[in-house]
Chain A
Amino acid sequence: MLDIRLPIGLMFSVVGLIITIYGLATIGDVELYERSLNVNVNLISGLGTLAFGLIMLLLSEPVRKKLRKK
């Protein structure tokens, strides 16, 4: 059956990427980050989410199979 780590990995990679890009695009936006104590949480959280997604992808059966073949 489908390895759950594949959809989890894909989803968090996509979501992480979107938030990271948004974080990059809003660097220096003082008004936006005033509420988050002047921290660009989008950038940090986006990178974290992306990393989690990629790790899940690497651990998933279909990806591991492909890596083993290579």
Chain B
Amino acid sequence: MAKIPEEELMNSGHNACPGCGAAHAMRYMLKALGKDTTVNIPACCWAVIPGVYPSKNLEVPLLYTAFETTGASSSGIRAALDAKDIDADINVVGFAGDGGTADIGIQALSGAVERGTDTIQVMYDNEAYMNTGIQRSGSTPQGAWTTTTPVGSEKAWKKQPKKDMMDIMESHNIPYAATVNIAYPQSFIEKFKKAAEINGPKFIHIYAPCPTGWRSKPSKTIEIGELAFKSKVFPLYEIENGVYNVYKKPKEEIPVKDYLRTQGRFRHLPEEEVEKIQKNVDRYWDKLLKKEKFTQEELYKEE
């Protein structure tokens, strides 16, 4: 088990809401990567969390960029560092929310990964446009209430499942991709450290609860993270050169409804919808285990 480094590169005095999962995400990421790291941040909660000019609560250089540019910005920073022959061990991180990754930023992300940019592209996933006030994104889970999927008489909660960014990244032949959960800081830090050792593009999908948008108790953020893992709603796995590894499997499994009931955004869901969600979660988990088995035991057996 990795020890959590004591060095703090995120100082107190941030602007995040109480119980913000994204705040944990940045803190643990910087603990893992250390100070030889540049971070570029598009429009998202983290464009505000570091502080208002002239304040800044992070001990790493920050480039704020436009919403859809995270991937291109990472490529630009890396190109300049290479052009200047500056130490190649610097981590160039693009740190975007789910909207800036899965929706408006997906083109620039795809470009950066396809070009083989040596960067860690992070999606801290709070499952909606939280900074603008809880609008649905492509990463909002099935069944969720948001301000643009309101639950009126027409029951217009989000009907579609989440966009699978890990699969999309895998389809780019990315050398390394991993999911991490702020409720499990050891593996969180371990996976970031592993990513830092790999040359080329890396993608890390962070599960980051948002009490404000999820209508959950700020004090329950870590607990919700644990339930997401135990209910298999957010599996913890990595893909290294095409090989899947579900690196942490729940010892005690719980039904999805135990996860859903912790958040007001799901409270409208009738029994049959919860069953549908349970079925989708089970199918995804099953598929994931099959991918793991197939890629480990058959597809890349010779390697």
Q: Do A and B come from one complex?
A: no
Residues of A within 8 A of B (CB): none
Residues on B lying within 8 angstroms of A by beta carbon are: none
